[in-house]
Structure 1
């Protein structure tokens, strides 16, 4: 049996945001023929990552990737976006690598090529565009000398109504690591400042003695933007970044009106190399449990049940336990995903490893957590503006 040369790759959204699922269908095949659908994308370093899945066509010569389980491939469950998150690097353990596209200021999108092959020949190909920035989104780099903070500001198209805004920062990786997340949030209408707080020129070289006032300065800068509703500023922190996110919400309730934390800690931990991680008014913020009795908005805490870096699922329970104890009047929610590790966030569908065993979890668990957790973040932001 030979596959038809008239194979067609159908997709509902050939150009879509990088966090948007697309619906792929292969038509024009011979009934019950076996085909391989491949995916490929080029990382910032020029290395090409690949995914693949082999399917059996139905009796009408069709394969719907959203409803069909692959016979074999880089993923093995019914998953319409499996070809995207399961891509692997050209060499090495996929669990030890991360697919990093060009940053949004260098390229507003990245391309994923989809191919269909059977019996040793290619039947069809199509290139999909995965966008970081929707039409009209603008961005600008923030410099310490001019803005008093380091980062990148992403704003929805001008003329939109004022929206809740997000101050987003990562963890022990340092630098401005949340710019892709910030670009996507702005594309959904939420102005976002991706903030760096160490490991950038003019900032502390390492995570040690970082002033909490620095984060407050960034939040005030964000609140001053004409697209921003200053009464709804959300702090989003990942891993070590969860500590200043919670501290900001507790210590600046008139400035910060909600929190989203990924793989969080419920405690202030020591700085790198010992000493103190955070300061306020020139004094160390003591290590230990972070109080949460002054929150002025919702809280969402997301963790992986198999986090091997630190016990974030236990920390999440502690956070929720504290809020239960004081009967906090704002909505709060904990999401703990089985099979996910420290790489439980943030937006879905980008190929990533787990850097196992250090980070814990597995690629499937992390992918599922991101696909399910990201809509919860968008829902929190949508509810905030109502």
Structure 2
């Protein structure tokens, strides 16, 4: 099922939703209540949000308010009309306006964005993975647009979104040159091993690794610069560092072989492709919004050196509100003059899952996936699956993560256009996360 498949995922495909709402509703008018079921659950799992005790056809605004790990406020809102029984069930009722429209059971969560008092373009950054993100849900009289004073409050409740299970073990790693965090599922194992890497902002990013551990993977969150004694800025890369991480994971008593998987986003996806190409320890790679060539910094492995494509600063466009559009800035990997930067992906013996958004404005990830797949096909290989999402942007995170089409780059300190339409990107995150887990289970079994 995974061999040579290329899928352009339709936006409207049904995913299904679990959870329930209280079976007995309070029908006394003027005594409204709101619930989330489950009230405490994993970040990548759906919750059923419902309101009852309203007047028939009553117009209300539902709001969500969350605080991230840096103490910053994020909020969202949507307009609903109660049914004849005075109920609003987000899994059935469409939003009439606000931050999204239509039937979106988890819309209040994926549409969270910086509150009016916060600086714009910040991503919601979770705190320690053992601390949940608390979201306050409130119901207000009438329709109130985003960033305005809401009407009288009718009901409120709090839900918790956890990044991991309490039984998951988190081990800070300082093994040889390798740094990071290892997350181990509960139980004796052994478990399939996965290395997890993010983009070119550096540092230790743990939320995806912690979620992978809840799904039965021994997950290593691997930083590669700007963390502890690693280089402070992105320099040339030596693949030996990543091979040492893969070997550490394979030799861990809780990890089963014969190989490990890699999940990477952006620069991390580029490194995941390189690991699959050159390292025998890696047998499956999930490449999210990556490039088919080395970019910016050179990659070294033994006597081999692949130089990086350059960014042409003159091709960066800046909007009137200061947002940087770098879509055209990277040198063209299809130019024969840049062929020496290409990752020779056809050498890989393992399996690839390419995940791309067709509205990625960070760079041309759809084109880069096509280049990689063409190279594999030209060499008679079908060891790939492509998930291509119309309307999705650059950073495709796990299911129900807040959508952030413009994000402040933590290194450059400027907002970068990532692209994507909110509903389409939210769908891509929900659908691809399930497929990523399925892919890893299949090839690391």
Compute the TM-score of the two structures, normalised by the length of structure 2. 0.78
Would the aligned equivalents of 2:270 and 2:291 in 1 still touch at CA under 8 Å?
A: yes
Instruction: Return 197-206 or 210-219, whichever deviates more.
Output: 197-206
User: What CA deviation, in whole Å up to 9, does each residue of 1:60-99 have, x standing for no partner?
Assistant: 1111101211122111121000000112212379872211
The structure 2 residue matched to 1:361, chosen from 409, 414, 420, is 420
Note if 1:348 corresponds to 2:407.
no
Report what 1:138 is aligned to.
169
2: CA distance, partners of 1:310 / 1:358:
10
The structure 2 residue matched to 1:87, chosen from 112, 118, 134, is 112
Note if 1:281 corresponds to 2:281.
no
1: CA distance, partners of 2:432 / 2:120:
21
2: CA distance, partners of 1:71 / 1:336:
29
Alignment of 1:185-224 (within 5 A): 185-224=212-251
Give the secondary-structure state (helix, strand or coil) at the position aligned to 2:406: coil
Deviation (angstroms), 1:121: 2.9
2: CA distance, partners of 1:93 / 1:190:
36
Report what 2:17 is aligned to.
none
RMSD between aligned residues: 2.2
Give the secondary-structure state (helix, strand or coil) at the position aligned to 2:442: helix
2: CA distance, partners of 1:267 / 1:207:
17
Alignment of 1:227-238 (within 5 A): 227-238=254-265
Report what 1:243 is aligned to.
270
Report what 2:152 is aligned to.
121
Report what 1:370 is aligned to.
429
User: What CA deviation, in whole Å up to 9, does each residue of 1:293-331 have, x standing for no partner?
Assistant: 33333211111112222211001111222222233254x
Alignment of 1:131-170 (within 5 A): 131-143=162-174, 146-159=175-188, 161-170=189-198
Would the aligned equivalents of 2:111 and 2:402 in 1 still touch at CA under 8 Å?
A: yes
Report what 1:381 is aligned to.
440
2: CA distance, partners of 1:135 / 1:45:
22
Would the aligned equivalents of 2:306 and 2:342 in 1 still touch at CA under 8 Å?
A: no
User: What CA deviation, in whole Å up to 9, does each residue of 1:102-145 have, x standing for no partner?
Assistant: 131xx4311111112226432221111111111310102123xx
Would the aligned equivalents of 2:236 and 2:300 in 1 still touch at CA under 8 Å?
A: yes
2: CA distance, partners of 1:175 / 1:201:
9
Would the aligned equivalents of 1:164 and 1:384 in 2 still touch at CA under 8 Å?
A: no
Report what 1:112 is aligned to.
135
| CA spacing shift, 1:95–1:205, aligned 2, 3 Å | same
Instruction: Return 181-190 or 334-343, whichever deviates more.
Output: 334-343
Deviation (angstroms), 1:283: 5.1
| CA spacing shift, 1:4–1:315, aligned 2, 3 Å | same
Deviation (angstroms), 1:183: 0.3
The structure 2 residue matched to 1:269, chosen from 275, 295, 301, is 295
2: CA distance, partners of 1:270 / 1:45:
30
Note if 1:5 corresponds to 2:30.
yes
Deviation (angstroms), 1:231: 1.8
Would the aligned equivalents of 2:237 and 2:300 in 1 still touch at CA under 8 Å?
A: yes
2: CA distance, partners of 1:251 / 1:288:
15
1: CA distance, partners of 2:432 / 2:47:
18
Deviation (angstroms), 1:3: 8.7
Give the secondary-structure state (helix, strand or coil) at the position aligned to 1:80: coil
1: CA distance, partners of 2:239 / 2:28:
62
Instruction: Return 345-354 or 90-99, whichever deviates more.
Output: 90-99
Note if 1:173 corresponds to 2:224.
no
Deviation (angstroms), 1:263: 0.7
The higher relative CO (CA closer than 8 Å, separation ≥ 6) is in 2
Give the secondary-structure state (helix, strand or coil) at the position aligned to 1:257: strand
2: CA distance, partners of 1:266 / 1:215:
18
Q: Which runs of 5+ in 2 are unaligned?
A: 1-26, 143-150, 308-339, 408-415
1: CA distance, partners of 2:112 / 2:270:
32
